[in-house]
Amino acid sequence: MALNNDENKRFLEAKRKVQKIKIFYLHVMLYLIVIALISYNFYILEGPYTDVITGLNISVIVFWTIFIVIHAWSVYKGRFLFNKSWEDKKIEKILEEKNKDEVETKIWE
């Protein structure tokens, strides 16, 4: 019974993680659409309020980019490049190389 409960908890945790990733991808897609529209706005912008609108657009881009980075950090918890499995693989590889070197030196001694 406890095993089933443990599996259920892991399933719910995985489901929650997938939901967070899904929301993040939707957020990035919306961000890219808005950036494309703002870029088009820069292209067609004319008139007396050009500086004000440009400043507003740039501030939206900067703040939303910062928010996207924070959202990505919260979803992936800083595991973009060097996650735990990468560390484990590297440690295992180094230990294997060290063992291989020890075996080779023993053969020649």
Q: What pLDDT, in 10s, does the model give residues 27-73?
A: 999 999 999 999 999 889 888 889 999 999 999 999 999 999 999 98
Do residues 52 and 95 share a domain? no
Number of domains in the chain: 2
Do residues 9 and 49 share a domain? yes
Higher pLDDT, 10 or 67: 67
Q: Which domain holds residue 14?
A: 2-78
Do residues 20 and 50 share a domain? yes
Confidence of residue 79 (pLDDT cuts 50, 70, 90): low
Do residues 61 and 109 share a domain? no
Confidence of residue 91 (pLDDT cuts 50, 70, 90): confident
Region 82-102: mean pLDDT is 74
Candidates 24, 19, 12, 27; CA nearest to 80 is 24
User: What 3-state DSSP class applies to 8?
Assistant: helix
CB count, 10 Å around CB of 28? 13
Candidates 72, 61, 53; CA nearest to 35 is 61
The pTM assigned to this predicted structure is 0.66
Residue type at 21 in one-letter notation: I
Do residues 23 and 46 share a domain? yes
Do residues 63 and 52 share a domain? yes
Do residues 44 and 91 share a domain? no
Do residues 95 and 45 share a domain? no
Residue 97 has pLDDT above 80, yes or no: no
Question: What's the mean pLDDT when you consider all of the chain?
Answer: 84
